[in-house]
Structure 1
């Protein structure tokens, strides 16, 4: 029986992934952890408070709960990382190395997310290939690129079964935005349902690769459940679902809420977005382990506008 530890379980991805892992393996076999106090979304799980930079505490939790897999999601995202680069680098890198060392010592399977932030100004912007120029110019992207090299190193040198995806922007409705450059595509739905105009911090024609949270969970679990001999890439796989601009997401919302309006006031996050691809070639993931998304922009928008209203009052009280 698998025993799974989720690090960063209180975050946007972490809370939804924890619940899906509980559905697959049973809540009693999934341990949620975070540096923060537990949130209501993971109240049905055993919770351990954990600063992933504390290697001894991490090892204690792994041994206490007989952990076999770790999903390491704790990180400082792009926009917040630029506000405090040394802090972001230290947390992102030390946390990953602690997890990899624990995996080596305890023969664990590891999931660690990378990001399209590993690409940069010299990367081909359209249909960015799996193997290409990578020259990130944000501390988040630099730490993710370094992390990819460490993951492959631990697999090649020590046999660690580490697996990773380069997430595009993730869009979900079950938690608030978490400080990423692509988080405008989460906040915009909140404004639309509150009948408020939306001021976007990116220009209207800024295309970025995106993915609905349901597809992100699907991709993560598909990868982790694939046979080891199907996993040919041990740095990180490209995955893709949707590419759209702020103007296009506004148009998708207006199909259901015609009175919704948006304005555009680009800030420092525009330069971050301009260094990332417009679209991603994920043919390697499709060929190796059968990746395929379920949601396009209109289907995602309809699902969010149907389900988010029930949670708005909860967010306002938080």
Structure 2
């Protein structure tokens, strides 16, 4: 149970007193104990302050921060809110460059008590929940996927409700199924996915919207398409061929694609994904007509991206050997309709297929050249 005290700070923050019933008196009745902290009220950028008038920035906790999106989002948010106001967390040991970039904490999303302690001890205002098993990996370990993708969501939603946090949980094209319209796929339509990853994402969307309408939780979600990045290696998703083809082109010049050449899927470059996420979080609730939005930038097939990559590596050879991921891709949208995101909060993409490929090559070629030079030096 929570109540809002009448005191309000000069920068638009209010004091919230959260009552805990962990203690009990001799007759077994609960005795409330209080924990006082300041929480943001709705304001210009969604966090209760105008950055022109106040240096106060939101304190953000990112779970699953060592994945494809977490490191990039932490970098963008630290540039906006300050290094000490964005905390990365995961259950894995971070590499040295992550530790040097800012605060990193161990956080297991299955540990509800531990999450509560982090939120209180570090005065968290916004929780970004990236912890999840992706589509192909989830199908190989369904019990673990149910734990991480469903129980973990329950925990972060409960913590966000208890402490009045803004909560962002990404969704995916995998939240749609074979009964969904595929070209285009609107925000609101039949979903009914047939992977545990997709089912868990629909569950997160509906639970988040329920918590919003029932408890006033500021829940937000974006349905991401396939994400392409030069900063991380593929992590087991069905759309990861679109990232791996660049690495193969610059190493073996041979790419074995696990999808049919005509399999069309929506995609986004990582910079667009991160910008969309931060802009969405900073949008005032009064501008949102829904809590879960599609976002996208382009749609292409394996043969279309292969043709574009061959402009840089003409002798690239591509073969097609569809595996179990083909059945997953056949259930997903071909083209995302994200008109509501563009209309409600001004979303617009900057990268199409040619500009994305050019950016990927500009980023990866120096990395591989440096690596090859290092190998040559060692051999000499």
| TM-score band, normalised by shorter chain | over 0.9
> Is 2:118 aligned against 1:118?
no
> Among 179, 190, 194, which residue is 1:137 paired with?
194
Q: How does 1:268-279 map to 2 (within 5 A)?
A: 268-279=324-335
Assess if the C-alpha contact under 8 Å between 2:253 and 2:315 holds in 1. no
Residues 41-50 or 149-158, more deviating? 41-50
Instruction: Identify the structure with the greater helix proportion.
Output: 1
1:231 maps to which residue? 288
Tell me, what secondary structure is at the counterpart of 2:73? helix
Assess if the C-alpha contact under 8 Å between 1:174 and 1:311 holds in 2. no
Matches of 1:222 and 1:89, distance apart in 2: 30
Matched residue count: 315
- Residue by residue, what CA displacement relative to the aligned partner does 1:272-317 show, whole Å, maximum 9, x if unpaired? 0000011011111111111110000010000010112344477x99
1:56 maps to which residue? 113
1:253 maps to which residue? 309
> Among 76, 89, 99, which residue is 2:133 paired with?
76
Higher RCO (CA-CA < 8 Å; seq separation 6+): 1
2:353 maps to which residue? 297
1:264 maps to which residue? 320
Residues 20-29 or 302-311, more deviating? 302-311
Matches of 1:20 and 1:261, distance apart in 2: 36
- Any unmatched runs of 5+ in structure 2? 1-56, 376-380
2:7 maps to which residue? none
2:248 maps to which residue? 191
1:94 maps to which residue? 151
Matches of 1:145 and 1:171, distance apart in 2: 23
2:224 maps to which residue? 167
2:122 maps to which residue? 65
Assess if the C-alpha contact under 8 Å between 2:150 and 2:200 holds in 1. yes
Matches of 1:187 and 1:41, distance apart in 2: 23
- Residue by residue, what CA displacement relative to the aligned partner does 1:185-238 show, whole Å, maximum 9, x if unpaired? 11111011114300000011000000000010011011001011112212x211
1:106 maps to which residue? 163
Q: Moved runs in structure 1, 4+ residues, more than 6 A?
A: none
Matches of 1:88 and 1:62, distance apart in 2: 24
- Residue by residue, what CA displacement relative to the aligned partner does 1:30-77 show, whole Å, maximum 9, x if unpaired? 111001111345221111111111011111111111010111001000
- Residue by residue, what CA displacement relative to the aligned partner does 1:97-155 show, whole Å, maximum 9, x if unpaired? 11111111111111110001111111111011111111100000000011110000110
Tell me, what secondary structure is at the counterpart of 1:12? coil
- Any unmatched runs of 5+ in structure 1? none
Matches of 2:235 and 2:267, distance apart in 1: 15
> Among 214, 228, 238, which residue is 1:157 paired with?
214
TM-score (norm 2): 0.81
Q: How does 1:9-88 map to 2 (within 5 A)?
A: 9-43=65-99, 44-88=101-145
> Is 2:284 aligned against 1:200?
no
Matches of 1:311 and 1:42, distance apart in 2: 19
Matches of 1:177 and 1:142, distance apart in 2: 22
1:8 maps to which residue? 64
Aligned-residue RMSD, C-alpha: 1.4
Assess if the C-alpha contact under 8 Å between 1:32 and 1:46 holds in 2. yes
